[in-house]
A and B are shown apart, each in its own frame.
Chain A
Amino acid sequence: QVQLHQSGPGLVRPSQTLSLTCAISGDRVSSDRTAWNWIRQSPSRGLEWLGRTYYRSRWHSEYADSVKSRITISADTSENQFSLHLNSMTPDDAAVYYCARDLPREPAAGIHNCFDSWGQGTLVTVSS
C-alpha cells in the first residue's frame, strides 16, 4: 500500500521560496504507470492542482498556468521522493499543500488525472 509523507517548513517569508518534499513508500517515483502531483487547498481558492512530474522514458513536468512562472517539481530517484519549489511567495499562496499520486494505469492508457493517494498535508503560512 502506497504511503506519501510530506516534509518541509510551514512558515515562509514573503518573496521567499517554498520547498516541500514528498517521500514515497510502496511505489516508485520512476514508475511508468502513474504521476506525482502537488495540490493545494485554501478557503479562497478551494482545491487547486499545481503541477506534476512523471517518468515515461524520460522525466516530464507539467504545471498549472496560475503558477507556471514560479514553480518547479522534480523527482529524486535515489531517495524515492519528489519535491515542490514555489518561489516569490505571497500571502495569496498560503494554503494546505498536498502531494498526491495519480491513479495508476497502464502506460499506453496515459495519465489518469485523478488522485488515489495523498500526503498528510502541510499548512503553509506566508508571513514576515
Chain B
Amino acid sequence: EVVLTQSPATLSLSPGDRATLSCRASQSLSNYLAWYQQKPGQAPRLLIYDTSNRATGIPARFSGSGSGTDYTLTISSLEPEDFAVYYCQQRSNWPLTFGPGTKVNIK
C-alpha cells in the first residue's frame, strides 16, 4: 500500500499569503496524484488531478506540481474561503489511498 505523508500538519497563514502544501509518497506515483479541499461538515472537493490539472470550476490560484514521490499544492494568494483541510490522494497503485491532511488556518 502506498503511504502518503503530508506536511506540514498545520499551516497558519493570513489572507493574501501564498500557501505551499507538500505530499510525499512511499513510492513513485507517476504523476497520478490528486488534491481535495474539505471544509467542516462538508464532503471533500476535488481541486487538482494528475498532479497539475485543475478540476472544473477551480480558481487559477490553485496549482499543483511535482513528480516521482514529491508533490506540491500551491495557493498563490489565500482567500478567506480557502481556509480548510487539504488532502492528497494517489491513484498510481492499488488500493487507492489518501494522505492524512494539512489544515490551513487563519493566523
Contact = CB atoms under 8 A, between A and B. Distances in A.
Interface of A: 46-49, 64-65, 98, 100, 103, 112-116, 118-121
B44 interface: yes
Can you list the 9 inter-chain pairs with the closest CB atoms, starting with the nearest? A118-B43, A113-B91, A47-B98, A114-B34, A49-B96, A116-B46, A114-B49, A64-B95, A98-B43
B89 interface: yes
B106 interface: no
B2 to A, nearest CB: 12
Interface in B15-66: 32, 34, 36, 42-46, 49, 55-56
Contacts of B95: 49, 64-65
Looking at chain B's contact residues, the main secondary structure is loop
B49 A112 contact: yes
Contacts of A120: 43
Contact of A112 (B44, B91, B100, B101): B91
Q: Contact residue range for chain B?
A: 20 to 34
Given A47-B89, A114-B91, A103 B44 contact: no
18 contacts: A46-B99, A47-B87, A47-B98, A49-B95, A49-B96, A113-B32, A113-B91, A113-B96, A114-B34, A114-B49, A114-B91, A115-B46, A116-B55, A118-B43, A118-B45, A119-B43, A120-B43, A121-B42
Contacts of A118: 43-45
Given A47-B87, A47-B89, A114 B46 contact: yes
Nearest to A119: B43
Interface string B73-87: 000000000000001
A103 B49 contact: yes
